[in-house]
Structure 1
């Protein structure tokens, strides 16, 4: 099984990346193929509402002059998707919002292509607004018929400067538990995928 974590922070090596690394660690130990992909330095534009994805139905966005389709290919292959973002004005980063909008629409256009995949949101925050950013990611997951596991608290870590989140022991414990929850859920649903195939809308 393959777990993909995507860091929506434009800052490399920051608190969002640290949280995602901790969430992936239990999955790697359990035998999953894991990958941490950063959006920093990648150009991903917002959705232009051309709706060509509904005509093409090729699991891709019709806009091909940025990095979205390369990321989409990995998303569509993943069994579990963990999306991480810093908190900007109580919401996700612009990079993450563009990814959410275009990924969600391509999924709908292709018969709910994300249906049945596991989705988890992770948020780094200095002080407030993290639950709104957390909800923004989960809204796309839930509207895409993905399965969202819980953990011991909201998947939130506190810190502003690089590395500061390492001092949030509760957040790091939560990331460990989240990774183990994704592992358990992935193994629990794997035998049922043929009976409940992905990409088939009710």
Structure 2
């Protein structure tokens, strides 16, 4: 069965970002695919050192748990990341992870190519569009397929539970999930 892997960059257990990703995952599962969410909370993901060792090792030489995540991405057909936005950008641990994931893919077998997915950004008031643009760079340079939706994949909410009350934002995320699932099914 085809799988979509999610990375949740929120440091808060069951916070707004996790709830939004859970709703997106449910929509994807409703289309017959499986999902798995990996939480960066509690992990210490180091930044890429651009050492190039991954070209020889076919994995990152840094041993902080990211190689296990990379293997799960290799096995998936879809890859979606979600991040809270605190200061107008994605969380640093997510960017560190994505840079290393991209470096390993580019220097090995290009495993990210043709994966379907995209980013989701959640914030109280602003910074989501800049964050989406920042994260799209990862998807585009890695030859990935990014489906659209009815708006950008942004949701508003600060206190726990507020994001899922953003009706327009959640409708956008639901449509995005449908589009991810339908594209994976059509490609397969």
User: Is the shorter-chain TM-score for this pair beyond 0.5, marking a shared fold?
Assistant: yes
Stretch moving more, 27-36 or 142-151:
27-36
The RMSD of aligned alpha carbons is 1.0
Aligned to 2:107: 109
Task: For residue 148 of structure 1, report the CA deviation from its aligned partner.
Answer: 0.5
The equivalent residue for 1:16 is: 17
In the superposition, the TM-score normalised over structure 2's length comes to 0.96
Separation in 2 of the partners of 1:79 and 1:111? 15
Any stretches of 5+ residues in structure 2 without a counterpart? none
* 1:22-64 deviation per Cα after TM superposition (whole angstroms, max 9, x unaligned): 11111111111111211101121111121101222x2x21111
Q: Is the contact made by 1:15 and 1:159 (CA closer than 8 Å) also made in structure 2?
A: yes
Aligned to 1:97: 95
Q: Write the deviation string for residues 96-150 of structure 1: whole angstroms up to 9, x where unpaired.
A: 1111110010010014221011121101011111111111211111100000100
Q: Taking structure 1 as the reference length, what is the TM-score of the superposition?
A: 0.89
CA positional deviation for 1:93: 0.4
- Taking the aligned partners of 1:17 and 1:10, their CA distance within structure 2 comes to 10
* Alpha-carbon distance in 1 for matches of 2:16, 2:67: 26
Q: For this pair of structures, how many residues does the alignment match? A: 187
Deviations 1:8-31 (A, max 9, x none): 111111111111111111111111
- Cross-structure match for 1:86: 84
SS in structure 1 at match of 2:49: coil
Q: Which residue of 2 aligns with 1:47?
A: 48
1:9/1:95 contact within 8 Å kept: no
